[in-house]
Amino acid sequence: MPLLADWLLRHSVVMCLLLHSLVLMTFCFHHAATSCSKRCYCSESEVGGKTVRCSNLRLTEIPQDIPNDTRRLYLDFNLLTTVPTNTFQELSLLRELDLSHNELAQLEPGAFHGLARSLQLLDLSSNKLMSLNPEALAGVRARANLTYNPWHCDCNLQTVMPHLDLEPASLAGIVCQTSEPEDAGAQGTPFLLAKDLDLCVVLKKTTDVAMLVTMFGWFTMVISYLVYYVRHNQEDARRHLEYLKSLPSKQGKSEESSTVSTVV
């Protein structure tokens, strides 16, 4: 027994140190897991809350370990091509989201799900967006920067715009780079400001023409059938007449005249 006590006493310092570092390590790992993303840089301020910077990291995917108390998230100057559904679902305090200077060509439905209430600034500028999916931005009322994207202005975009919840002034950033139809005069103008531009009218006109053509087709078919029917009957009647003529009886003659009157 004294031997054990002696041993313990001698090793207590080492034990204590070991235990200490163990506790420290656990604390550190825990700290890392909850307070900052592995690849990003985090800072915290009294007023603004947590800011997470993942700028310029050649990221092709949005990190999954962004802390859920982040208020500002910078993902600019990366290689992101899409924003998948529910990416930011847990970030219920997020107020600013910078996705500018990426390769974003699409935003999946529900991409900003969970941010509808908190988000105030959404930077999507300098990307590859050509159109907007209203399901991606459902409920998001933030002020958005939509400039420097290759917007394709067509009837679809025109139909979508009134259904967006974004701060209305944001839409001025949609400057048409291409348009459908091409000669509508939309290129180079902010879509919102081209008030008298109606890219759906042309579509309506085309539909009208298609309708006319179809109707004309039907009409022609009906007329052709009528002509055929009349001709066919005439032929029948003629053959019938000839047959009657070949009969020598008086009765045949009277029948003949009655048939002629029917035909006429």
Q: Does 93 bind ligand NAG (CB under 6 A)?
A: yes
Choice between 44 and 180, CB closer to ligand NAG: 44
When the beta carbons of 174 and 244 are compared against ligand NAG, the nearer one is: 174
Binding test (CB under 6 A) with ligand NAG, winner from 37, 70, 102, 125: 125
Give the one residue of 92, 178, 234, 257 binding ligand NAG; rule: CB under 6 A: 92
187-196 b/e (C-beta count within 10 Å ≥ 16 → b): eeebbeebee
**Closer residue to ligand NAG (CB): 63 or 181:** 63
Is residue 116 a contact point for ligand NAG (CB under 6 A)? no
130 vs 197, beta carbon nearer ligand NAG = 130
Nearest to 41 by CA among 80, 67, 77, 61: 67
Q: For the chain, what is the radius of gyration of the CA atoms?
A: 39
| Residue 147 binds ligand NAG, judged by CB under 6 A | yes
Interaction between residue 148 and ligand NAG (CB under 6 A) = yes
Nearer to ligand NAG, 75 or 244 (CB): 75
- Pairing assessment for the beta strands 49-53 and 41-45 based on DSSP bridges: antiparallel
The correct pick among 44, 55, 69, 95 for binding ligand NAG (CB under 6 A) is: 69
Q: Phi/psi zone of residue 38: left (φ > 0), alpha (ψ -120 to 50 degrees), beta?
A: alpha
Count of positions on this chain that bind ligand NAG (CB under 6 A): 10
Nearest to 60 by CA among 35, 84, 43, 85: 84
- Tell me how far CA of residue 176 lies from CA of 48, 129, 151, 194, 214, in angstroms: 36, 11, 5, 10, 34
Interface residues with ligand NAG (CB under 6 A)?
A: 68-69, 92-93, 100, 125-126, 145, 147-148
